[in-house]
Structure 1
Amino acid sequence: MQGEQRARTIFLLLWTLITAVKLVIAARLPLFVDEAFYWQEGQHLAAAYSDLPGLTAWLSRLGVEIGGAHVLAQRLPFLAIGAALPWLVSRIATRWFGAVAGWQAGSLTLLMPLSGTLGILAVPDVPMALAAVLCLDAGARLLRTVDAAAAVKLALGLMIGALSHYRFIGVIVVGFIALLLLPQGRRMLRDPRVWVALAVGVLAWLPLLSWNADNHDAGLKFQVVERHPWAFQWSGLWFLVIQPMLVTPILCMAMWKVALAGTRSGGGARAQWRYFGLVGAVSTVAIFALGFFTDVERISFHWPLPGYLALLVAVPVVLNGWPRWLRRTGWWLAGTGLALAFCYYLMASAPALREQLAGDKYYPRNFAGWQPLATAVREELATMPAGSRVLAGNFKVGAELGFQLRDPSIQVLRHPLNDKHGRSAQLGLWGLLHDGRRDAPLLLVLSPSDQRYRDLLARYHAVCAQVGPLPPPRVVSNDHGYQRFLLFKLPAERAQGPCVTPAMAWIDTPLPDARAAGMLDVRGWAFKDGVGLARVEVLVDGRPVAEAAYGRSYDITRFWAISSDPQHPNVGFDARIDTAALAPGRHWLGLNLYGRDGSVESWPEQPLVVPAR
């Protein structure tokens, strides 16, 4: 009884503390771009969408209907599900392994970073995890005896999963494999009540199937074919490094021990032990194998979560058989991993802290700059004629601005990014893909940060083809330019003439993070298609420090073959700055690019280190 009371007290304390921290983070963290698009889908209610079934959008809509257009309100339904999952896992573990193991399993669900952070973001993995746990619980109960209550729970889990994500098909397949490998599972599958539950689960896929039938299988093709290379790639080995870090090493070892136990035979409660182990093992191994052939460009580290939740149910039994020092280390490592995950979200939510990651590969660009952008858009619209509309450069900008401006119907330019994320078909159904025609002034908002630099000039020319020459932009720069937006006021009638694009530049010398003492030479190139540049100004920490000599011969047309700057090849610049006037430490080197059309564009900055004297 003392062990049970202690385990219960620890669980309740952890649940209260972690839930409170998640609420604080969810209230402060800007919307991730996918969350913003789910909000937009929720404002256009439908049975299914191009990228997902309907449940994520419905939950997002429910949140803002209850709490208003605030990030916390949208995330509340997902936070509620995330808060309920540890209780469900605890209840499953209690049923099969006792109360102490049950409370411990709930605590580990709270502490494991992948499950402990669940609900902070309004994403489909949250209801899908709930569906997986419901199906897991129902399956374990049905292995012992088939009854109506367990069959109903199975049907409910299958329905929620079908309405959550295409990936839930994998959860179903894994569950079937696990059941077929168990004698009790094969016996269970012969019961008609189980097949009724399965039939209900199949019916839940009908809205998604109907959407695909009406739209040339656009969603199915994207999820199964277009987003994956389906060619072998060695990067799949990163799974072996990333996953132990995400679930913490000792907890990972314990889960693998549960998975291995699933291959052993036994009777009684051992059937459930094998079931949890088989579900987790088959799921994890399958995702690892698919990782060599599937999409690695977008976030996929969370895909094994349903399998990990199955393994966590039995992990306390394994841990309790280990030495005390190893158990404690495992618990503390899990808590440390969760704390680090929370710190990352807190850094992403605080502009001053987020700025410290500028230039780093972990810079949270998809969380950055949306509120300053919305403020600038409101200011520009206030100076434009009545009836002016916003035109976004891609779905990310359209969805994020839509949330900030409370407008779910912002038109979007055609962009490869829309196709890459499976959103073009949905935007087309809403009539939000801009076709080039306009009957009112437009405020065009481009996000060059979303484009690979080598493709940026081609993108600018594609924008010219869609809307005409671009006037001087207003630059909205965040975090030293690592999240950067360009705002263009387009007249009601399309302008004629050659393509005028935003300026482009590169600093050859010094390199990023270079150490500088005394006089520092700054060299590079810059150009602006259609009109050319008049001058280049060098900045340090946002303040002008030198006027560059612009116009040196520097032929870059071998790479930028489509460039139409009239000054080619004379687009090189040189400057010299005195770093002796700078305090020791890190500084930021930038450029102001002055176009011959009157434009002034700040270029993204790069770090510069002045050593102590």
Structure 2
Amino acid sequence: MRDKDETGALRDLPIERVFWSLWSLVLLLKLAVAAKLPLFVDEAFYWQEGRHPAAAYSDLPGLTAWLARIGVELGGNHTLALRAPFLLIAALVPWLLARITAREFGERQGWIAGCFAILLPLSGTLGVLALPDAMMALATLLCLDAGARLLREVDARTAVELAAGLALGALSHYRFIAVIAVGFVVLLLLPEGRRALRDVRLIIAVAIGASAWAPLVAWNMDNADAGLRFQLVDRHPWSFHLDGLWFIAIQALLVTPALLLALALAGARGARAVSPVTRYFGLLGSLVVLGFFVLGFFADTERVSFHWPLPGFLALLPLLPGVLVAWPGWARVLTVAWAGATLLAMLGYYVAVSIPGLRAHSAGEKWYPSNFAGWDELARAVRARQRAMPPGTRIVADNFKVGAELGFALDDPRIAVLDHPINHKHGRAPQLQLWGLHSAGRGDWGVTPVLLVVGVTEVEYKNLLQRYHALCAMAGPLPPPQILNVDHGRQRFALFAFDGTTRAGECTTPAMAWVDAPVAGAKVGREFEVNGWAFKDGVGLARVEIMLDGRVVAQAGYGADRPGIREYWALPDGKYSSDPQHPKIGFSAKIALDAEPPGRHWLGLRLHGRDGSVEDWAEQPIEVKRR
């Protein structure tokens, strides 16, 4: 029989059936996306951690890696199997939230809150990637449920549930400390909470939860607090910056303005409510969200952080139906539709990332998904190059991203990695050291043939020449590279085949270049001029060819004076670019198009080194005008 009370936009629908239909549809969509979506770099590293079982790691407690290992052990070494445990955990979140809400506020409100747990884009997309947030969300709800129960009565079941939630959160991420700290403060603010905190069963539950931090504490004690220092000190500037406004704006975009407003009202009203449980939900959710909003003005802005406030939003969702019931019908419909559209847009983004043609089309955009892109193409190129090299050739990566992604693709968790700034920036350098996978370079390789795989675009262009010279210092003069340009070179790799013999001489690097005109995105006529500069340290360039859409369209004149370029490329040892042809490194060419249609085309360079190397430079988009 249908419940006819007036509690939401879906008041005339059998809401339980709506929930399960929505739950099934979104789960099927997520399964389809997860099966096709290329592996994200963090997922690859968690897979690698899972292949090196431990209680804790440099970047995280152990649970995420253990789940990743379970997935591939049961389902094989492919992305859907890796993500399957996380999809399963994420599928429990809306159901558990619905049960919590139904117990406290009624069955219908429970199903409505559960529907919004699915539609809220931050929670609706959980599990698509094998990341710790799915388990953190489940742990948050277990603690939330236990907290609501203990405000009425502390019993063995509640204590066990709280202990489980605290332990799962502790084994998931350092960030769960925020949920614990705010939850403790909220209990202290409530008379019922203070009473419960004196109960010995609750004290035992808290002690069990605290013990789950022991592996992480032990790891940090054994490794000079490297993980703790990275999470709480090294990655954050801890000085005020206005980028926090962007953090708030992104939350409004991802949560959707209508839903964010409704959740804010739910938190404000809940915090002033008479009911202890309602106040508990309102205070916990509001303080977690506001805390992360404030943190956004002082914390790390270089890495993804938009998912941080999710535990707070989950705590506010049980109060949401009580806010929406007072809204006019059109506002409720708008809230549902906007949230659903944003969820589909986020899943659609993952679909676009999975389609090579669409991803390549975005190569000229700021939102290009570099952490998803190029790994399959790189694995194919590495396999092909391996077959052409002597048996026993070792693969060495120049950074942890390449090492982990290649490791997953080749089912080899023991790929050694050179020292690289991003290994330290992402807190992975200590773990590579512990695994014995940090390679110092040629001194470690001996006479073994090595295929060195370098992620060129992992370094800012202004620092790229310096990185090449650092590679020379570690590996000796670099042989002619095989360049792999993915998505017009937006993702770019260099493969160096060392045959095991000692190479002598000056550092020889891949070529460096820049197109001064036309600039990226420029509109050009059927005839236009291309000019810029290019050089190759150690040997120099023999010639430069102009390419359009992957084919050569002109031979450039090379050797024009470009004073000041050499001095710009200063190295830490006080030296400069060592191309012997400086300053005669400029090029220019006149292009006359014939059959090319108007619209977007990709302009590139082919650089011929004096050592016989041939390197295709990254392409940039131009717009060819109609006649």
Q: Same fold (TM over 0.5)?
A: yes
Give, in angstroms, the shift of residue 581 of structure 1: 3.5
Q: Determine which of 262, 269, 274 is the counterpart of 1:261.
A: 269
Indicate yes or no: 2:332 matched with 1:330.
no
**SS of residue in 2 equivalent to 1:167:** helix
Partner of 2:573: none
**SS of residue in 2 equivalent to 1:144:** coil
Indicate yes or no: 2:440 matched with 1:435.
yes
Q: How do 1:361-372 and structure 2 match up within 5 A?
A: 361-372=366-377
Partner of 2:232: 224
Partner of 2:36: 28
Partner of 1:577: 591
Give, in angstroms, the shift of residue 594 of structure 1: 0.7
| 2:271–2:280 Cα contact (<8 Å) kept | no
Partner of 1:2: 2
Partner of 1:517: 525
| 1:594–1:601 Cα contact (<8 Å) kept | yes
Alpha-carbon distance in 1 for matches of 2:397, 2:502: 17
Partner of 2:582: 568
Alpha-carbon distance in 2 for matches of 1:353, 1:221: 40
**SS of residue in 2 equivalent to 1:538:** strand
Indicate yes or no: 2:318 matched with 1:317.
no
Q: Quick check: 222-231 or 60-69, which moved more?
A: 222-231
Alpha-carbon distance in 1 for matches of 2:547, 2:472: 30
Alpha-carbon distance in 2 for matches of 1:320, 1:600: 67
Partner of 1:385: 390
TM-score by length of 1: 0.98
Partner of 1:145: 153
Partner of 1:412: 417
Q: Determine which of 122, 129, 138 is the counterpart of 2:130.
A: 122
| 1:134–1:156 Cα contact (<8 Å) kept | yes
| 2:518–2:529 Cα contact (<8 Å) kept | yes
Alpha-carbon distance in 2 for matches of 1:195, 1:262: 27
Give, in angstroms, the shift of residue 518 of structure 1: 2.8
Partner of 1:47: 55
The number of residue pairs the alignment matches comes to: 610
Q: Quick check: 69-78 or 353-362, which moved more?
A: 353-362
Give, in angstroms, the shift of residue 61 of structure 1: 0.1
Partner of 2:119: 111
Counterpart code for 2:246:
W
| 2:34–2:80 Cα contact (<8 Å) kept | yes
Alpha-carbon distance in 1 for matches of 2:619, 2:481: 18
Partner of 1:174: 182
Counterpart code for 1:289:
V
Indicate yes or no: 2:308 matched with 1:303.
yes
Alpha-carbon distance in 2 for matches of 1:597, 1:312: 64
Partner of 2:541: 533
Counterpart code for 2:598:
P
Structure 1: gaps spanning 5 or more residues = none
Give, in angstroms, the shift of residue 313 of structure 1: 1.5
Indicate yes or no: 2:359 matched with 1:354.
yes
Counterpart code for 1:170:
A
The C-alpha deviation readout for 1:553-607, integer Å capped at 9, x for no partner, is 0020231122111100011000111135420110000001111111111111000
Give, in angstroms, the shift of residue 240 of structure 1: 2.5
Alpha-carbon distance in 2 for matches of 1:239, 1:223: 19
Counterpart code for 1:335:
G
Give, in angstroms, the shift of residue 258 of structure 1: 1.2
Give, in angstroms, the shift of residue 3 of structure 1: 3.1
Partner of 1:589: 603
Alpha-carbon distance in 2 for matches of 1:272, 1:322: 23
**SS of residue in 2 equivalent to 1:229:** coil
Counterpart code for 1:253:
L
Partner of 2:8: none
Partner of 2:567: 558
Partner of 2:205: 197
Alpha-carbon distance in 1 for matches of 2:469, 2:580: 16
Alpha-carbon distance in 2 for matches of 1:612, 1:109: 50
Alpha-carbon distance in 2 for matches of 1:406, 1:50: 22
Alpha-carbon distance in 1 for matches of 2:109, 2:438: 54
Q: How do 1:63-82 and structure 2 match up within 5 A?
A: 63-82=71-90
Partner of 2:285: 280
Indicate yes or no: 2:623 matched with 1:609.
yes
Let me know the Cα RMSD of the aligned residues. 1.0
**SS of residue in 2 equivalent to 1:557:** helix
| 2:567–2:577 Cα contact (<8 Å) kept | no
Counterpart code for 1:602:
D
The C-alpha deviation readout for 1:384-443, integer Å capped at 9, x for no partner, is 111101010100000000000000000001001000000000000011010222130100
Counterpart code for 1:244:
A
Q: How do 1:157-172 and structure 2 match up within 5 A?
A: 157-172=165-180
| 1:131–1:157 Cα contact (<8 Å) kept | yes
| 1:579–1:610 Cα contact (<8 Å) kept | no
Structure 2: gaps spanning 5 or more residues = 5-12, 571-575
Give, in angstroms, the shift of residue 342 of structure 1: 0.7
Indicate yes or no: 2:97 matched with 1:83.
no
Alpha-carbon distance in 2 for matches of 1:416, 1:178: 41
The C-alpha deviation readout for 1:190-247, integer Å capped at 9, x for no partner, is 1111111000001000011111111111111111111111111111111221111111
| 1:516–1:579 Cα contact (<8 Å) kept | no
Alpha-carbon distance in 2 for matches of 1:365, 1:90: 37
| 2:526–2:624 Cα contact (<8 Å) kept | no
Indicate yes or no: 2:495 matched with 1:487.
yes
Give, in angstroms, the shift of residue 265 of structure 1: 4.3
Alpha-carbon distance in 1 for matches of 2:273, 2:112: 25
Alpha-carbon distance in 1 for matches of 2:271, 2:404: 47
Alpha-carbon distance in 2 for matches of 1:280, 1:580: 63
**SS of residue in 1 equivalent to 2:545:** strand
Alpha-carbon distance in 1 for matches of 2:424, 2:249: 30
Alpha-carbon distance in 2 for matches of 1:547, 1:144: 81
The C-alpha deviation readout for 1:18-72, integer Å capped at 9, x for no partner, is 0000000000011100000000000000010000000000000000000000100
Partner of 1:462: 470
Q: Determine which of 290, 294, 307 is the counterpart of 2:295.
A: 290
Counterpart code for 1:379:
A
Q: Determine which of 456, 469, 483 is the counterpart of 1:475.
A: 483
Counterpart code for 2:614:
V
Partner of 2:7: none
Give, in angstroms, the shift of residue 141 of structure 1: 0.8
